[in-house]
Structure formats: C-alpha cells, structure tokens
Amino acid sequence: MHSDVVLKVEALQTQFDTRRGLVRAVDGVDFSLRRGEVLGIVGESGSGKSITAFSLMRALPGLSGRTVGGRVLLHGVDLLKLPESEMRAIRGARMAMICQNPNTSLNPLFTVGEQLEETLRFHAKGAGADARQRVLRLLAEVQLPSPEVQLRRYPFQMSGGMKQRVAIAMALICEPEVLIADEPTTALDVTIQAQILHLLREVRRKHGTSIVFITHDLGVVAQLCDSVAVMYAGRVVEYNEIRELFRRPRHPYTAGLMQSNPVFGRRQERLHSMEGQPPDLVAPPAGCAFAARCPHVQPICREQTPPRVAIDERHFYACWRDAPPGVAHAA
C-alpha cells in the first residue's frame, strides 16, 4: 500500500435478506483514498452508493444487512475484523459520516450544543468550558451565523441549510482523517449547495481531510472531486481521475450518464436518456449487468462477467469491448 493511502477498499460485499430473496447491494467494490483526496461515487438510485458508505462505517441500516466479504483498510488495519468496541472508538473520531438528511443524525430532544459536546466527551477530546469553546469555533468555521445563539437551539428551530451545517460540524468535531458525505447537498437549494461545497473544500485545505463524496450529480463531482468511482448494480464499472473521466469516459454506462447531464450554455432540443431500467438485484442477469441497456452489447456480454481493463496502476473499467485478447476464453 502506498504510504499516502489512508483508506483502501478491496472486494467489498454487502448483502440484504429480503422476502423476495438475497440482494447483493454491494458486490466486489474496490477503490483507494489518499490523504487530502476527494473521491466521488456516482450512479443511479439503487446502484449501491449509500450502502457502500454505511458498509465502510459498519453502520448498515436495518437488521437484515451484513457485510460478507472484502476488506476496509484504514492505514492497513481491517475495520471489518475489529470488535465493535474498537470500531465505536474509530467511528466519529477517525472516520465520520454526513448523512443525506440531517434530521436522521440530529436528536430533536437535545440542543445543538449538547449534541456536539457529547461527541467530544465520548471520544475524550475535551470537556467543560474547553469543549464549549471548541464547539463555538467549529460552528463559526462551518459558517453558522451567531454560534452562541445557535448553540442553545434545537434542530427543529433551524432551516435545512443550518441543520446540514450542524451535521457537518458534528462530523468534523473530532477532526477525522476520512469524511464520508452521503449526498449532503441533495435537499438544498443551489445557493446553499454552493456554500456547502465551498465548506468541504476548505475542510480539505485546512485539515488535509480525505473525503468520499456520494452523489448523483455530475456537476457537483466536476466542482469538488479528484477522482470518481462510477457504480452500477452494486459494482464499480469505471474508476478514474476526474479530468480523464470527463475527457474520455471508458464505460458505456459512464458515457450514458454524462450524455444525460444537461450542460449550462449549450442548447439541447432533447435531453438524452438511457433506455431500460437497472437490473433486479435479487435475480441479476448473467454476464454484464448493463448489457440490456448497452448500445455496444456483444453476445459475450450476456454470458460472462466483464473483466477489468487497467487504465493505469490504480484505475480501471469493466467492459468486454477493450478486453485483452484471450481474456474471454479464460473468464
């Protein structure tokens, strides 16, 4: 592992038991995150983006979900093998998460100040007056107006944008090495969205924080991220640097996503859309999961899982079109 790699995910697999059968929500996800890097994870709803995030934190929603394979290495330590007591010490301190809806992470029965100070006390990062001053400084850093006043407010007394800033402050209170942001700007208007993105850029600049940013918005990815993992049906189908991905998308699904994204200043009579729907993960098709929607489908695509084609030593895409000679016979 490179010395600057903070987080490395290898062959991550997460499944859910449902009434209809076993759902392979995350099926062999790989990526790495370097210090100060922002990695975007994009894809349609149901592609496995959020479940990947919850799997990294070992905080899967519900009782039926479980991570059944792979490794999540934080500086070489596999988080999936740690006892829960050790994982609790890491969760919130070294790795933290901003949820899509701040109402799910903020308790309406406690003030903002009480919740932030509790996080500090749990991780032994401060207590008493020192904790209060630290919370005030952080609320000012996330650009919450009048921190002294907001400290005494309950979440239901705040707007959506203010609550999202509090959720970001809660994630940053212990200065984590890795910050996972699960669509933190989705429910916000464009002005507040721009402010949140600026805030995340400042967090990276000031603290060297590594960020996993989950979104369906390619415009946001272009503004914030250094590299991108494109997910489809629980798998990463393309993983590349941001400029290279926008310049030359390798996977047909990535190209379809980009064509479906409106471009500011460019007149389009009709917006491109991909035909068909993502596959049923209870009964996934043989071969490539995107085959039924792909304009370049070949017979082998419907029969065998596509191999990974290396872009460089770190990045790849999974497609039969550019598979090296002989791979089809060995797959």
How far, in whole angstroms, is CA 94 from its chain's centroid? 16
Q: Which two tokens stand for residue 274?
A: 């991909």
What's the pLDDT score for residue 64? 83
Buried b (16+ CB within 10 A) or exposed e, 299-316: ebbeebebbbbebeeebb
Domain ranges of the chain: 5-94+177-268, 106-173
What's the pLDDT score for residue 218? 87
Q: Which residue has the tokens 């850093």?
A: 141
Q: Which two tokens stand for residue 297?
A: 């489908």
What's the pLDDT score for residue 331? 39
Give the gyration radius of the chain's Cα atoms. 21
Q: What is the tens place of the pLDDT at every residue in 11-29?
A: 999 999 999 999 999 999 9
Q: Which two tokens stand for residue 225?
A: 């991220």
Q: Which residue has the tokens 């471009």?
A: 263
Write the CB contacts of 120 (distance below 8 Å, at least 6 apart in sequence): 126, 127, 131, 134, 135, 173, 174
Q: Which two tokens stand for residue 26?
A: 């995350």
For 5-94+177-268, give the CATH class. alpha beta
Helices (H), the chain: 49-57, 84-90, 112-122, 128-141, 147-150, 160-172, 190-207, 218-224, 242-247, 252-259, 327-330
Q: Return the SS3 of 282.
A: coil
pLDDT lower than 70: segments of the chain: 1-3, 63, 124-129, 187, 262-271, 325-331
Q: Which two tokens stand for residue 9?
A: 């995910």
Give the count of beta carbons closer than 10 Å to the beta carbon of residue 214.
Answer: 24
What DSSP line would sit under 102-137, residue for residue? GGGTS-TTS-HHHHHHHHHHHTTS--HHHHHHHHHH
What's the pLDDT score for residue 266? 59
Q: Which two tokens stand for residue 4?
A: 């600057």
**What pTM did the predictor assign?**
0.89
CA dist., res. 222 & res. 146, Å (int): 32
Q: What is the tens place of the pLDDT at every residue in 104-146?
A: 888 999 999 999 888 888 776 555 667 888 888 888 888 888 9
Is residue 40 within 8 Å of 197, Cβ to Cβ? no
What's the pLDDT score for residue 214? 95
What's the pLDDT score for residue 330? 40
- In the chain the first and final C-alpha atoms are separated, in Å, by 27
Q: What is the tens place of the pLDDT at every residue in 229-250?
A: 999 999 999 999 999 999 999 9
User: Where on the phi/psi map is residue 234: left (φ > 0), alpha (ψ -120 to 50), or beta?
Assistant: left
